[in-house]
Amino acid sequence: MKLVTVLRMGGEMGDKYVPGRCNIGLRGRVMRASTGAIVIGVALWAGLSGLTGGLAGLRLVLMLPFYVGLLAVLEAGMSFCVLHASRGTYDFHEKTGPVGRSASREIVLVEKWKKMDRRKARIMHLDALAGSILLTMVLFLF
């Protein structure tokens, strides 16, 4: 489900795990969207404000924060966390804050579903990588 659809529905998606499609809830999507936007914004600011100095090659280092930020935004838009996919879990009521474990995390029990989740995660990693390369190259040429 795309972010546009979520917004049309008023942010409501069912708290139901769907293999290869949905493994986080509204709280997780909001945390990832805000984190991703901030990371991308800071990386853009660093690249455009001259913090990289006269060395255009130093801008290439910004590919990492672009990748992290784009992956977080993709996770928010697709309601799918790649870390949960790698662990074989899902969580619709994640704790706020970086410390501690969520008591609502569930384990995916069906092996076929875990494979579907891992496949989706690989595709999302490739999408974020392609986007970060594109943003870095545009910034490099700027």
What tens digit of pLDDT does each residue of 121-134 get? 999 999 999 999 99
Output the pLDDT for position 96. 61
Q: How far apart are the first and last CA of the chain?
A: 34
Examine residue 85 and state whether it is found in any structural domain, yes or no: yes
Find out whether 69 and 39 touch, Cβ atoms under 8 Å. Answer: yes
* pTM as predicted: 0.84
Find out whether 91 and 24 touch, Cβ atoms under 8 Å. Answer: yes
What's the rounded mean pLDDT across residues 118-122?
98
**φ and ψ at 98, to 5 degrees?**
-80, -15
Q: What is the C-alpha separation between 58 and 91, in angstroms, rounded? A: 38
Output the pLDDT for position 71. 98
Examine residue 1 and state whether it is found in any structural domain, yes or no: no
Examine residue 7 and state whether it is found in any structural domain, yes or no: no
Between these two residues, 6 and 86, which has the higher pLDDT value?
A: 86
Examine residue 113 and state whether it is found in any structural domain, yes or no: yes
Name the residue range of residue 108's domain.
19-94+104-141
CB atoms within 10 A of CB 19: 18
- Tokens representing 125? 């990693």
Output the pLDDT for position 35. 97
Between these two residues, 53 and 121, which has the higher pLDDT value?
A: 121
Residue 28, pLDDT > 60, answer: yes
What's the rounded mean pLDDT across residues 73-93?
96
Helices (H), the chain: 3-8, 26-48, 63-78, 82-87, 111-141
Residue 114, pLDDT > 60, answer: yes
Examine residue 13 and state whether it is found in any structural domain, yes or no: no
Examine residue 87 and state whether it is found in any structural domain, yes or no: yes
* Structural domains in the chain (count): 1
Examine residue 63 and state whether it is found in any structural domain, yes or no: yes
Find out whether 108 and 81 touch, Cβ atoms under 8 Å. Answer: no
Examine residue 4 and state whether it is found in any structural domain, yes or no: no
Output the pLDDT for position 94. 83
Output the pLDDT for position 58. 75
Q: Which residues pair with 89 in a beta bridge?
A: 107
